[in-house]
């Protein structure tokens, strides 16, 4: 492949597809590439999005599976605490990603899969948007350090106890992270994320929770699928950078560190940052010299305060695990459903934190 374009987008997940769509709508010539063979495959998230995603993404309804009305948080073996502010929708993530790619193509972007971007990629672009995930090659090419990552493991299971709440499990046995059960009709996503030092415990921790939920009659014994992924936990990177040759780079989504370090929530941040990156890139191509600085300011305004809080809460929680056995009060302070998380100042409403 050898060609010249205004904007090269690397990655066609929610961030990259949204960036490609908005840049093309702005009149720029856009090539978007992804190493995957198809949009959204494999699925690497728990597939919950908050209600506000419908305000950001056109046509979410076709990929919706079921509504979510609340969050249930289990701290150790205690009965769950119900939080009603966490409403949203469970989606089919592969169909969601495909929908966004279709929108980008309809806007005029050339979207190609099974295509790897590297130093030998023979495409000249005036600007590059890096939306290629937590281990971003574009980010690395700018000289920015790669972030510390936590690892997750998830299985799909039959759901016997149908409900409209996301279940969160906090425990001293789940080091520096949490476990979840997210319903999708007659099935559910059951997963766990752990601090880097405890990643070898992912499988046994998940199996222990699976056995508990089977004994409670909540899930069936079959395992319908496996997945997993990495989550950056150090906050915003960039989001404006450059390659060694001076080519400007905008980072979006996981590549920019916008995933919440506590919850792993990343879909809305990816969609919003990708759309803003595409708009800024289009404006810059059209001659707006301040467009890239404006993008950096928008990212800070939208995500800066909440991500700094989440980074600090994660550090506090990991310190509690390192120093002793964390108590329920430590676990609650580290989770967004509890007032302790938001003390002493109130940052953003809970539902603004996004989705897994």
- 335 pLDDT exceeds 70? yes
∠ Cα 116 120 124 (to 5°)? 90
Take residue 97 and report the two structure tokens written for it.
């990603």
Mean pLDDT of 261-287: 95
CA–CA separation, 219 and 332 (whole Å)? 26
Mean pLDDT rounded to a whole number for the chain? 92
Query: Tell me, what DSSP letter sits at residue 62?
Result: G
Take residue 292 and report the two structure tokens written for it.
């890239």
DSSP, residue by residue, 79-122: PPEEETT--EEEE-HHHHHHHHHHHHHHHT-EEEES---STT--
Strand partners, 130: 10, 251
CA–CA separation, 255 and 136 (whole Å)? 5
Take residue 2 and report the two structure tokens written for it.
């050898």
* Confidence (pTM): 0.93
Q: How many residues appear in the chain? A: 356
- 347 pLDDT exceeds 70? no
SS3 content of the chain, % helix, strand, coil (to 5): 35, 25, 35
* pLDDT per residue as tens digits for the range 179-210: 999 999 999 999 999 998 898 999 999 999 99
Query: Tell me, what DSSP letter sits at residue 244?
Result: T
Mean pLDDT of 43-61: 77
Q: What integer pLDDT is reported at residue 352 of this predicted model?
A: 40
Confidence of residue 353 (pLDDT cuts 50, 70, 90): very low
Take residue 146 and report the two structure tokens written for it.
């790669």
Give the CA diameter of the chain. Answer: 63
CB 336 within 8 A of CB 262: yes
Q: What integer pLDDT is reported at residue 118 of this predicted model?
A: 73
């Amino acid at each position: 492949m050898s060609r010249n374009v205004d904007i090269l987008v690397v990655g066609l997940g929610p961030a990259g597809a949204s960036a490609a769509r908005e840049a093309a709508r702005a009149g720029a010539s856009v090539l978007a590439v992804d190493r995957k063979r198809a949009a959204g495959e494999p699925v690497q998230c728990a597939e919950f999005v908050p209600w506000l995603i419908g305000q950001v993404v056109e046509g979410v309804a076709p990929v919706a599976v079921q509504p979510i009305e609340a969050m249930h948080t289990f701290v150790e073996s205690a009965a769950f605490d119900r939080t009603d502010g966490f409403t949203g929708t469970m989606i089919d993530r592969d169909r969601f990603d495909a929908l966004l790619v279709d929108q980008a193509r309809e806007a005029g972007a050339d979207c190609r899969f099974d295509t790897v971007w590297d130093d030998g990629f023979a495409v000249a672009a005036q600007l590059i948007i890096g939306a290629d995930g937590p281990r971003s090659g574009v980010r690395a090419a700018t000289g920015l350090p790669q972030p510390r990552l936590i690892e997750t493991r998830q299985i799909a299971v039959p759901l016997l106890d149908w409900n409209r709440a996301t279940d969160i499990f906090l425990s001293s046995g789940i080091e520096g992270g949490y476990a979840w059960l997210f319903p999708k009709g007659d099935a559910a996503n059951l997963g766990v994320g752990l601090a880097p030092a405890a990643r070898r415990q992912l499988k046994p921790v998940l199996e222990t929770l699976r056995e508990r939920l089977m004994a409670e009659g909540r899930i069936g014994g079959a395992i319908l699928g496996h997945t997993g992924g990495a989550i950056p936990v150090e906050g915003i990177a960039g989001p404006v950078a450059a390659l060694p040759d001076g080519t400007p780079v905008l980072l979006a989504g996981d590549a920019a560190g916008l995933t919440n370090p506590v919850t792993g929530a990343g879909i809305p941040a990816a969609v919003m940052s990708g759309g803003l990156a595409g708009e800024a890139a289009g404006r810059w191509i059209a001659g707006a010299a301040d467009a890239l600085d404006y993008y950096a300011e928008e990212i800070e305004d939208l995500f800066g305060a909440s991500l700094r809080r989440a980074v600090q809460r994660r550090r506090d929680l990991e310190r509690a695990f390192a120093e002793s056995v964390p108590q329920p009060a430590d676990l609650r302070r580290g989770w967004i459903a509890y007032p302790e998380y938001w003390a002493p100042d109130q940052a953003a409403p809970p539902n603004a934190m996004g989705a897994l």
